[in-house]
Amino acid sequence: MKTIKYTLIAAAIAASHTGWAAVPIDTRALREAVTLDGIQTHLQALQDIANANGGTRAASTPGYEQSVEYVASMLEAAGYVAEIQSFDFPYFMENSPAQLEQIAPDPRIYPYEAADGFYTMSYSGSGDVAAPVQSVDLILPPDAASSSTSGCEAADFAGFTPGNIALIQRGSCTFLLKAQNAEAAGASGVVIFNEGQPGRTDAILGTLSEPSVNIPVVGAAYAVGEDLAVGGAQARLIVDAVSEVRTTKNVIAETQSGRNDRVVVVGAHLDSVSEGPGIQDNGSGSAGILEIALQMAALGTEPRNKVRFAWWGAEEAGLLGSQYYVDQLTPREIKNIALNLNFDMIASPNFVRFVYDGDGDATGAAGPNGSGNIEQVFLDYFTGQDLASDPTAFDGRSDYGPFIGVGIPAGGLFTGAEGIKSDDEAAIYGGTAGVAYDPCYHLACDTEDNFSFEALDEMSDAAAHAILTFAMTTSAVKGTDKGSDKAEKAAETLEYQGNKLRR
Q: How confident is the model at residue 21 (pLDDT cuts 50, 70, 90)?
A: low
Strand partners, 165: 133, 189
pLDDT score of 276 more than 90 = yes
Q: How high is the pLDDT of residue 145? A: 85
pLDDT score recorded for residue 7? 35
What residues make up the domain containing 283?
8-91+257-501
Judge if 415 and 466 occupy the same domain.
yes
Q: 407 and 315 in one domain? A: yes
Same domain, 328 and 411: yes
Asked whether the predicted pLDDT for residue 18 surpasses 50, the reply is no
Average pLDDT over residues 444-450: 97
- Contact residues for 103 (Cβ-Cβ < 8 A; gap 6+): 130, 234, 235, 236
Number of domains into which the chain is organized: 2
Residues 445-457 have a mean pLDDT of 97
Q: Which H/E stretch holds residue 178?
A: helix 175-184
* Confidence (pLDDT) at 111: 98
Q: Quick one: 477 and 336 in the same domain? A: yes
Residue range 279-295: mean pLDDT, rounded: 98
Q: How far apart are CA 271 and CA 274, in angstroms?
A: 9
Do residue 288 and residue 387 come from a single domain?
A: yes
Is 101 one of the catalytic residues? no
Q: Is the pLDDT of residue 165 over 70?
A: yes
Residue 456 belongs to some domain of the structure: yes
pLDDT at 483: 40
Report, in angstroms and rounded to the nearest whole number, the Rg of the chain calculated over CA atoms: 23
Q: How confident is the model at residue 498 (pLDDT cuts 50, 70, 90)?
A: low
Final residue belonging to a domain, choices 204, 239, 274: 239
Asked if residue 250 is part of any domain, the answer here is: no
Check whether residue 445 and residue 458 sit in a common domain: yes
Domain check: are 50 and 173 in the same one?
no
pLDDT at 4 over 90: no
Does the pLDDT value for residue 14 go beyond 60?
no
Check residue 397 and give its pLDDT: 86
Q: Roughly what angle, to the nearest 10 degrees, separates helices 453-472 and 371-384? A: 130
State the pTM of this model.
Answer: 0.82
Same domain, yes or no, for 353 and 478? yes
Q: With 80 as the cut, is the pLDDT of residue 364 above it?
A: yes
Specify if 211 maps to a domain.
yes
pLDDT of residue 500: 64
Q: Do 216 and 320 lie in a common domain? A: no
- Banded pLDDT at 154 (limits 50, 70, 90): very high
The residue from 94, 183, 195, 315 that is catalytic is 315
Q: Which residue has the higher pLDDT, 150 or 15?
A: 150
Poorest-pLDDT segment among 190-194, 214-218, 467-471, 497-501: 497-501
Same domain, 61 and 85: yes
User: What pLDDT shows up at residue 488?
Assistant: 41
pLDDT computed for residue 9 by the predictor: 33
State the chain's mean pLDDT as an integer: 92
Evaluate whether residue 247 is within a structural domain.
no
% of the chain residues with pLDDT over 90? 86
Both 76 and 104 in one domain: the answer is no
Residues 452-471: what's their mean pLDDT? 98
- Residue 486: pLDDT above 80? no
CA-closest candidate to residue 324, choices 337, 336, 310: 310
Residue 383 lies in a domain: yes
pLDDT at 477: 86
Q: Would you say residue 107 lies in a domain?
A: yes
Q: pLDDT category, 5, cuts 50, 70, 90? A: very low
- Kindly state the percentage of the chain with pLDDT values over 70: 91
Q: What is the pLDDT of residue 22?
A: 61
Do 211 and 109 sit in the same domain of this protein? Answer: yes
Residue 484 has pLDDT above 50, yes or no: no
Q: Give the burial class of 121: count Cβ atoms within 10 A of its Cβ; 0-12 exposed, 13-18 middle, 19 or more buried.
A: buried
Distance from C-alpha of 182 to C-alpha of 208, rounded to nearest angstrom: 13
Choosing from 183, 207, 239, the residue where a domain stops is: 239
Task: Look up the CATH number of the domain holding residue 182.
Answer: 3.50.30.30
Tell me the C-alpha distance between 34 and 89, whole Å.
34
